[in-house]
Structure 1
């Protein structure tokens, strides 16, 4: 198990270019299963989860080629469906939650799909009902083997249907959408997720010949087609990484420039950081965060404590709440962080409390942060990364802290952030990877 050794208290200065969006990449790569023709994707982040998915597709029979860094081609013209029943596939899929999104494309094109209950971050209950209820609405039969924890869906021909999703699940919407594009007739999806990832997936499918209307809204209408062609597609910059870098700059009092952020796809992320008092300049597609000695959290109009909560897009993405929480520890003022979606995602605050942060964990979904206004630095400590987003939040805390810190289980961070230690060291951080 690898470990980061961090020397805290350094001010950073320089440019950090965001990688391609991890969440989009997982969807887009699964979508290559929908066509027998070659598909080329650029700006792919070469991180653990994405590379695992590419390996899985390769073992399934997809011809994959790394053309250059971040650019891969895929051709799914010789798929071995029997591989889904193998022990090796089971091991691969269990370790990668994004593998659930191969189900929709395989069902649509080959009439069947099997997958074990996937893994991923340990951030609480993450049910899959939305995926499979939606596929059943399209005419698939569903079985769950409770003993082996295996899901299976089958259908000779999917048929378009009306459905109201019980939650605006991003991966659930993606799975149903990818199945519906090859179904017979019209599919109408209400309460669809509409994050930029879904918009990008929809546009890619349209470029392959799919007929989708309502892109960018929570109402998608799909007219099924008989087949899809190849295409080229470029993945957006990762908005979670952009937000992480904004938080890093604020916590460490650093001057950081973030180019190529895809500003029109960031939604309310910049404004939400401004509510914490973080100053930034937006010039074209670049965000510049100047060094700040302090930043003050806004209050509501009546003077009551500010609440920052996640919400379905265009609300604030839940993947950034860990960053907002850690940044608030050094702000002036107090804030209530309300994580509505996952009941275990705030449990990493005990590590911040050990570092000297003033945090009250109200319940599994809410934490009140009393900012230290940078008058008292966090202190270095030894900790473990519980998941991708909490891991980066702890790394930001360690970089701002007084003294040295160690973070173990950094494989979790590597799942979502490509060579993060090298990139931060290039602008003045001191992070050593051991193991």
Structure 2
């Protein structure tokens, strides 16, 4: 496991280009299994989770050509289904959460799909019921080996379209069901579907491949099944979570930073959430400019004067992946805020590390924390800590960059799972950060 050594307390300055979106890439890469024709994808982030999925596809028999660092072509014209029943797949399939989304395409095209219980961040229970209930609605037979934690769905005679009301607006669940339904016989209607920009991107890509999906961008999707899909070219959006992370980093280190080509129309409420903390965010063409907050930033209370609450919600609400960043940035704000993390019951447990650094945080319960900002009247103190998951990891890194002294962050593989060459890009802005083996 690698380690970051960070000398904090230095303002940064410069321009950053956001990476391609991790959560979109995981969906898009699985969709290459739906056709035997070539698919070219650009702006793929060079991060651990995505690279693991690319390796899994390669072991599944997909022909992969690396065009440059962030562009690949994929052709699934000789898929090795025997790999799905191998011990190697049992190990590789459970190594990342995104592997669950190969099941829908495999089921649709080959009549069967298997997956070991997938891994991912340890942020609480992450149920798979929505995925498999959707497949069952389409006519698949489900089985589960409790001893090996191995899931399977089979439909040797093909899938049949159906109406379904999802029990939760799961992004990966919606993506998996959509990919299964595009090759099903008849019409599938999905109500309470997720409608995040990355899910919209998947639907647009599938339509470019010949699928017939309507209602894209809403929570009611209608899919008319087709016999086959063709190849296409697709470019992945910039990563909204990374963009939010750069915004938080700029504010808390009182740095002047420009974030290039952010795709403003796909950021939703993210800019307004940071503005509620008093952070100045300026739109310059398709860029975000954040001036140095030398006088700090002041939290804006609710209009009735009560304490501000920032909480996550399905799109177009605030993504839960940014609450950790917003929480740490609030530690140096002027005022108080309640952070309410509704989706995952273990995501806020990293705040004990911030408390050790001197942050004023009251963890009310697994889902809620009250933050009382320092207003930069005292700096956080450097410390030694370990990254528990991707988003907590980047939040601790932001805290360390703003803290007085030299901090050590261990288990940085967690950060590398979601952020491309983060130390190199920070050094380009003037940060004093070193990667240790």
Output the CA distance in 2 between the equivalents of 1:166 and 1:280: 36
Q: 2:386 aligns with which of 384, 387, 390?
A: 384
Aligned-pair CA distance for 1:77 = 0.4
Spell out, residue by residue over 1:84-122, the C-alpha distance to the aligned partner (whole angstroms, 9 max, x if none).
Answer: 011111111111110000000000000001110000000
Output the CA distance in 1 between the equivalents of 2:213 and 2:195: 13
Output the CA distance in 2 between the equivalents of 1:283 and 1:138: 46
Output the CA distance in 2 between the equivalents of 1:270 and 1:351: 27
Matches within 5 A, 1:213-224: 213-224=214-225
Output the CA distance in 2 between the equivalents of 1:24 and 1:302: 38
- Counterpart of 1:274? 275
2:272 aligned with 1:297? no
- Counterpart of 2:236? 235
The SS at the match of 1:348 is helix
The SS at the match of 2:189 is strand
Aligned-pair CA distance for 1:283 = 1.1
Aligned-pair CA distance for 1:10 = 0.5
Output the CA distance in 2 between the equivalents of 1:10 and 1:283: 26
- Counterpart of 1:307? 309
Q: What TM-score, normalized to structure 1?
A: 1.00
Output the CA distance in 2 between the equivalents of 1:279 and 1:321: 18
Output the CA distance in 1 between the equivalents of 2:68 and 2:413: 24
2:97 aligned with 1:86? no
2:181 aligned with 1:158? no
Runs of 4+ in 1 over 6 A off after TM superposition: none
Aligned-pair CA distance for 1:302 = 1.2
Output the CA distance in 2 between the equivalents of 1:349 and 1:68: 39
Q: 1:434 aligns with which of 420, 433, 436?
A: 436
Output the CA distance in 2 between the equivalents of 1:54 and 1:117: 18
The SS at the match of 2:339 is strand
Aligned-pair CA distance for 1:209 = 0.1
Aligned-pair CA distance for 1:422 = 0.3
> Size of the alignment, in residue pairs?
435
CA-based RMSD of the aligned residues comes to: 0.4
Output the CA distance in 2 between the equivalents of 1:280 and 1:147: 51
Aligned-pair CA distance for 1:284 = 1.2
Which structure 1 segments of 5+ residues have no match?
none
- Counterpart of 1:401? 403
Output the CA distance in 1 between the equivalents of 2:65 and 2:100: 23
Aligned-pair CA distance for 1:69 = 1.5
Output the CA distance in 2 between the equivalents of 1:114 and 1:287: 43
Which structure 2 segments of 5+ residues have no match?
none
- Counterpart of 2:73? 73
Aligned-pair CA distance for 1:337 = 0.3
- Counterpart of 1:329? 331
- Counterpart of 2:34? 34
The SS at the match of 1:202 is helix
- Counterpart of 1:125? 125
Aligned-pair CA distance for 1:11 = 0.4
- Counterpart of 1:63? 63
Output the CA distance in 1 between the equivalents of 2:413 and 2:87: 23
Output the CA distance in 1 between the equivalents of 2:90 and 2:38: 26
Output the CA distance in 2 between the equivalents of 1:13 and 1:276: 21
Output the CA distance in 2 between the equivalents of 1:46 and 1:163: 36
Output the CA distance in 2 between the equivalents of 1:280 and 1:291: 11
